[in-house]
Chains A and B, each alone.
Chain A
Amino acid sequence: MYGSLSIVEYDNHGKKYHEEDPKKLAEFEARIERGEKIEPMDWMPYEYRRQLIRMIEQHAHSEIIGALPEGTWITRAPGFKRKLALLAKVQDEVGHAQLLYSAAETLGKSREEMINDLISGKSKYSNVFNYPAVTWADSAIIAWLIDAGAIINQVTNAKGSYGPYCRALERICYEESFHLKYGYDNVVHLATGTPTQRQMVQEALNRWWTPIMHFFGPPDKASVHSEILMKWQVKMASNDAMRQEFLNMYVPKIWELELVIPDPNLKKNSNGVWEYTEPDWDEFMRVINGDGPCNKERLAVRRVAEEKGRWVRKALLSPTEKYVTPLA
C-alpha cells in the first residue's frame, strides 16, 4: 500500500557512515562544528536523516497521543476555569504534533506514512502515555511533572543542528511554560487542600513516579553510534544527564509540598548527584512493545479519528492537487 505514497529517496539512501562521500561528509560536519544549522535542502548523511525522522516523528506521535490521557478529564475538570485551561493545553499538544510532523516531513517522510506507522504500531511514542489518568490528580501530575520532563528534553534538543526541528521546538517550549505553571497550580491546590485531596495527589504521584523515571529512557551505554549522534548534534544530552537535571529541579519542589516520593533510596549525594532506585526497565520494554494498560485504547482512539474524518478530507481534496515536501 505504500507504493502510492511520497517517499523521497535521496542519492545516498541506505548508506552507512563510512560509505558516504568523504568530501560532502567533511563539509557537513564542519558546518555543524561551526554552529551552523542544517536546512532541508542541504546534503546530509543518510544516518542523520534517518535518526532525525525517527526522533521527530516519535516526538510528534507523543504529542498527539499525550493529549489523550489528559483529554479524558476535559468533561470532568473541577470548575470552568480549569476546564478552559485544560482545553487550551490539549489543543496546544495537538498543535505541537502538527509542528513536529511538518519538521519531520521536510526530511522526506510524508505525513500519511507517519500516521500509518503510528496506527500500525510500527512507530513508537513516549511510553508514559500508555498509562491511565485515573483521577483528576493524575492529570495534574502529568501536566506538572511530565511536561517538566518534556521541557528539559525540548530545551536541550532545541540547541541541535537541524533547523526545522529547532524552530518547532522553540515555539513549543514557549507554550509549554503555561502547561507547567498550570500543572503546578493544580498540584499545589490539591497538596495544600483537604486530607482527601492530599491523599488523592499522593496516590497519583505514587502511580506516576515509575513512568516519570522511565520518561528520559534507559541508562546510556557508551557506543560509537551515540558518539556520532552527539557529534552531529542530533542527540544533545545523555538520558541520565536529563534525568539528573529533572530530579535536581523538581524533587525539592515535591518535597516542599510534603509529598512522599515512592523511592526510599532517593537522595542527593555529597557530589551533588542524585541516587535513586532504577525503575523497572523490563516493564518499560514490555509497555513500549504494546503490553501496557492503555496501548490498545490509545491507538483505537487515534484510529477512530483517522477513519471517521477520512471521508471529509477526501471530499475536500481537489483532483489537481500535488504534494511537495514543505520547505522549512
Chain B
Amino acid sequence: MKFLDPRVNRLNLPKEYNEGFEEAQELDQWQTYEVFHQRSRGEQHVHVGCVHAPSAELALLFAKEQYARRSKCTNLWVVKTADITPSDYEDEDIFIPSVDKTYREAYGYKVRPLINTFTQNSSSESVVKVFIQEITNSKGKKTYIIKK
C-alpha cells in the first residue's frame, strides 16, 4: 500500500493489513490510578483525573506527562482507584445537618450586639460601674477590694 506519510510507507504494511486483527483483551491497558496534584507548597493536593498504569512508579511518570505538563506543579500523588472508598451520592443527605449545628461554625458566634448594648447602657450610666482596687497590707500580702 502507498500512503501519503513517508513514515507510514517505511512500515511496509502488507495490502491486507487492515483485514481482521487481534482484539485487545481485558487489562491490556492496565488498571487506573487516581492523580492528585499540588500546585505549589502550602496548597492542598487536588484530584485532577486518572491514568492507566502497570505500577505506581509508572503511574507517577504518566501523571507527570498528563497533568503536570503545562500548569505549575510541585508534587503529585497517585492512588490505585480500587483503594479508594467513596461515599454514595444517593446518601448525599447525610451531609445536611439535621439539627441546628451553628455552634460548630465560626458564624454561630456573634458577640458584637451584646457588646454594643453593653457600651450604650454603660455611657447612659444605667449600670453600676465597678472597679477593683489592689491593696498591699503591712505583711506584704495582696488583697482586693471592690469599690463602687
Contact = CB atoms under 8 A, between A and B. Distances in A.
A323 B4 contact: no
B5 interface: yes
A43 B90 CA distance: 9
Contacts of A325: 81
Nearest to A106: B50
Interface in A284-328: 293-294, 296-297, 299-301, 303-304, 306-307, 310, 313-314, 316-318, 321-328
Contacts, number: 133
B120 interface: no
Contacts of B4: 72, 132, 134, 293-294, 297
B25 interface: yes
Nearest to A119: B21
- Which secondary structure dominates chain B's binding surface? loop
Contacts of B130: none
Interface in A209-243: none
Contact of B17 (A75, A293, A300): A300
A43 B81 CA distance: 20
Interface stretch (A10-18, A50-58, A94-102): A94-102
Given A5-B25, A323-B31, A318 B17 contact: no
Interface in A97-113: 98-99, 102, 105, 110-112
Contact of B26 (A6, A95, A175, A303): A6
Interface in A184-223: none
B88 A41 contact: yes
Contacts of B84: 327
A53 B70 CA distance: 28
A303 B21 contact: yes
Interface stretch (B51-59, B102-110, B134-142): B51-59
Given A41-B89, A316-B30, A306 B24 contact: yes
Given A72-B5, A297-B3, A328-B50, 15 more contacts: A95-B66, A102-B32, A112-B24, A115-B28, A115-B29, A116-B24, A294-B4, A300-B8, A303-B17, A310-B28, A313-B30, A314-B28, A316-B55, A317-B30, A324-B32
A6 B26 CA distance: 7
A41 to B, nearest CB: 5
Given A167-B49, A300-B13, A5 B3 contact: no
A99 B49 contact: yes
A296 B1 contact: yes
Contacts of B48: 171
29 contacts: A1-B23, A4-B25, A68-B5, A72-B5, A98-B66, A99-B66, A102-B32, A105-B32, A112-B24, A112-B26, A120-B21, A120-B23, A174-B70, A296-B18, A297-B1, A300-B13, A303-B17, A303-B21, A310-B24, A310-B28, A318-B54, A318-B55, A321-B27, A321-B54, A323-B32, A324-B81, A324-B82, A326-B34, A328-B34
B113 interface: no
B32 A317 contact: no
B47 interface: yes
Contacts of A19: none
Interface in A57-109: 68, 71-72, 75, 91, 95, 98-99, 102, 105
A282 interface: no
A313 B29 contact: yes
Interface residues of A toward B: which range? 35 or more
A71 B5 CA distance: 9
B112 interface: no
Interface in B32-85: 32, 34, 47-52, 54-55, 58, 65-66, 69-70, 81-82, 84
A327 B81 contact: yes
Contacts of B49: 99, 102, 167-168, 171, 328
A42 interface: yes
A47 interface: no
Given A304-B13, A306-B24, A307-B22, A95 B1 contact: no
A120 B18 CA distance: 8
Contact of B24 (A39, A115, A321): A115
Contacts of B17: 300, 303
Nearest to B48: A171
* Centre residue among A134, A301, A325 by max chain B CB count within 10 A: A301
Instruction: Kindly list the 5 A-B residue pairs having the minimum CB-CB distance in the complex, ordered from nearest.
Output: A316-B54, A112-B24, A111-B29, A132-B4, A72-B5
